[in-house]
Structure 1
C-alpha cells in the first residue's frame, strides 16, 4: 500500500512544541504561544492575548532566549495593565 496525498516537497518539522512553548512565526515575523495542531497548521496565540492564528509548521521556529524573555516581559506588562490575555 502506498501513501496518497502526502506532500513530499515540504520539510516536516523536527517535533511538535509543547503546549505553551514560545515560538516565532517567520512568515509573519510574530512571536506566539503554541496552542496545538489544526489540520496541517499550528495554532499560535499572541503573547499579550488576542485572536489565535494558524501558521505552517515549516515557517515556525523556537524562540531564542532573548525573544522568550521579551515575550514573557510583554505578557507580564499586559497583565499589569489588565490588558486582554
Structure 2
C-alpha cells in the first residue's frame, strides 16, 4: 500500500489545505478525511460526507491520492444507498 513506507509530511504547517480538501491521516491507518481547520497544534479532520471529527498531527497528514479520494467517496455513496447513512 502507498502509505506504508512513506516519510511523514514535512510541509510547513502554515501551508494549510483548503477547507474540505481530502487528506490522509497516516497516524490512523491511512484514514481519509476532510480538512476542517486547526485545533491548537493539530488539524481537525472528519470522515468524508460527515461524522465525528478527529484531530491529527500535521506531520502525519498528506494529500489524498485520486484513488483514495474515489475510494472514500464511493464507500460513502454505497453506505448511503444501503440506508446506513443519510
Q: 2:50 maps to which residue?
A: 49
Larger Rg: 1
Match of 2:62 in 1: 61
Q: How many residues align?
A: 76
**Unpaired runs of at least 5, structure 2:** 1-9
* CA RMSD in angstroms, aligned pairs only: 2.1
Aligned to 1:27: 27
Aligned-partner SS, 2:46: strand
Residues 82 and 18 of structure 1: is their aligned pair in 2 closer, same or farther, counting only changes over 3 Å? farther
1:70 is paired with a residue whose SS is helix
- Measured in 2, the distance between the counterparts of 1:36 and 1:14 equals 12
Task: Report runs of 4+ in structure 1 exceeding 4 Å deviation.
Answer: none
Q: TM-score, normalised by structure 2?
A: 0.74
Determine helix, strand or coil for the equivalent of 1:32. strand
Q: 1:60 to 1:76 in 2, by over 3 A?
A: same
Specify the alignment match of 1:36 in structure 2.
37
Task: Mark the runs of 5 or more structure 1 residues left unpaired by the alignment.
Answer: 1-9
